[in-house]
Structure 1
């Protein structure tokens, strides 16, 4: 049986370099970062078969890298302790901007949908039945917010729920805590918080892993579509390693020459357990709409800041407008 090495942030960052090779040389060993959307034990269960196939088909030793938060995986990539990782779009922006990352493929939903949706969850017995119920009751409810680097758990609700309604969640709720998607969902199910962020993919996962808890939840808000998650590699990987990795992703779970029906079925099952269909080619361009979203959120926050001097506010807003104009040009190019 394949023996897999599961790495934590501390183990990798303190133990020193565990890889064979240097930048631009082919690697014998690769660390794969997995963001903390739920408990590591659950993630290991669904990722083990995929990483085992990746190891077999690329001929490289693949180590799973887990961290207690999204930032741990980003920092792992920044210091070249993670060479490839699964991110959400918001955390991928941080990896691209700060950690030499580059988007090269994108996941797809197993049902063929082009993405997923952010949610606000409450307990099924809660008197809260709509977003308006939450917005109309400052100081009344407790809130479970997502990881600051999460697209669906933090960025999307920050803009659509709070930014567009000129609300600071730190002031609006009687208490606010931060946690992973799973932690927040369970906090709502256990009536530890009144409302929390989540997403359609994680809620579906919870319905399988803890169906009794999932049955205690109801959704009161659904966001616009969020692009499917990117897979990011360090852009200083050798061309040979990039070719090997991209070939693996682009052919995994698809019918290719020489692939038996049995192997295709097994790969499809692995992807289904990850809630994915086959991968598709992508690039950093997929992050542009999320970058725009973050800038719009920041602009709204600035516009509502009554304590900032008018000239300073105008300068900062102009800077944001310039960045938005540049992103619009990139979208059109």
Structure 2
């Protein structure tokens, strides 16, 4: 029986190895795309980039879409996704949990390397500021982003809620989770009173649906967030990594198709891509540690010794980040 069990395990391991080898032999890579908008819109914008990448690196590249950010992170964790476009928070999860590594980031049309988390209301809303919204939250509906979204969740949770000692889950009459595009549309159509969304998604709405954008008024803007990173699995072959990086760093800048590529970048609201690494995630790690620190300090169930030990550990991690 043991021999049969061992044989079964061995066969399963061989099957996994064979499938990986087969994928490599077949020259196929999956590129994960986080769900900031509908899959249809995202595919429309990214597919030409992926098609060109397939030609340039000599490996077929498929788009990989999921209904939430976790689907892309888990896809990378289990080897179904080899690289992808992430937000900083989801990239941090991919790096920590899915053998990910940041290798580049997007660059905005004006050459800057960042974006913002925004809170919007309908244009004729009586609420003029985030303070107005917090004061009246018990009677309001609020749209927030995916839990793995930097601009849709992490930043507003820290800068709006944690710093004001507000629990969004209990503060609002109704709180709804959705992607950036859906939150903008819900505010514009007065389906919810206010919502969080990313500035780059708002830029795309302004370009594609200007009538919708005019129905939304911004009442809060976060500090600058580092531009969205591109992440690959660490175990990709070195020569494949070199080809991928060369493709992104040159896309829209050199080669016979540069003009066409630049036009495609404009649809994505980018001017190109720049080299980066895991250090770009440090500010997000600091925010996560600040959030954890606040929870520990307010936890009445911890003894003084437990609280001190946990806070000492967080302070050590924050100090290490400051040095890196």
Task: Tell me the TM-score normalized by structure 1.
Answer: 0.88
SS in 2 for 1:147: coil
Higher gyration radius (CA): 2
Distance in 2 (CA, whole Å) between partners of 1:310 and 1:188 is 45
**Which of 288, 302, 305 pairs up with 2:296?**
302
Unmatched 5+ stretches in structure 2: 1-15
Output aligned runs, 1:86-101, within 5 Å.
86-101=85-100
SS in 2 for 1:232: strand
Distance in 2 (CA, whole Å) between partners of 1:27 and 1:119 is 43
SS in 1 for 2:293: helix
Aligned to 1:122: 121
Aligned to 2:233: 234
Distance in 2 (CA, whole Å) between partners of 1:311 and 1:286 is 34
Distance in 1 (CA, whole Å) between partners of 2:18 and 2:218 is 44
**Which of 255, 272, 279 pairs up with 1:285?**
279
Distance in 2 (CA, whole Å) between partners of 1:301 and 1:136 is 23
Task: Tell me the TM-score normalized by structure 2.
Answer: 0.90
Shift of 1:33: 0.3
Shift of 1:92: 0.2
Residues 76 and 82, structure 1, Cα contact 8 Å, conserved in 2: yes
Residues 106 and 231, structure 1, Cα contact 8 Å, conserved in 2: yes
Aligned to 1:109: 108
Confirm whether residue 170 of structure 1 aligns to residue 164 of structure 2: no
Aligned to 1:131: 130
SS in 2 for 1:106: strand
Distance in 1 (CA, whole Å) between partners of 2:230 and 2:26 is 18
Shift of 1:297: 1.9
Aligned in 2, Cα 1:286/1:27: closer, same or farther, shift over 3 Å?
A: farther
Higher helix share: 2
Output aligned runs, 1:165-244, within 5 Å.
165-244=164-243
Aligned to 2:244: 245
Aligned length: 309
Aligned in 2, Cα 1:17/1:143: closer, same or farther, shift over 3 Å?
A: farther
Shift of 1:271: 1.0
Shift of 1:22: 6.7
Aligned to 2:61: 62
Shift of 1:27: 6.7
SS in 2 for 1:275: coil
Aligned in 2, Cα 1:314/1:134: closer, same or farther, shift over 3 Å?
A: farther
Shift of 1:182: 0.9
Distance in 2 (CA, whole Å) between partners of 1:322 and 1:115 is 28
Confirm whether residue 49 of structure 1 aligns to residue 48 of structure 2: yes
Deviations 1:38-58 (A, max 9, x none): 001111111111111111111
Shift of 1:309: 4.0
Shift of 1:152: 0.3
Residues 106 and 113, structure 2, Cα contact 8 Å, conserved in 1: no
Unmatched 5+ stretches in structure 1: 1-15
SS in 2 for 1:113: coil
Distance in 2 (CA, whole Å) between partners of 1:246 and 1:19 is 25
Aligned to 2:310: 316
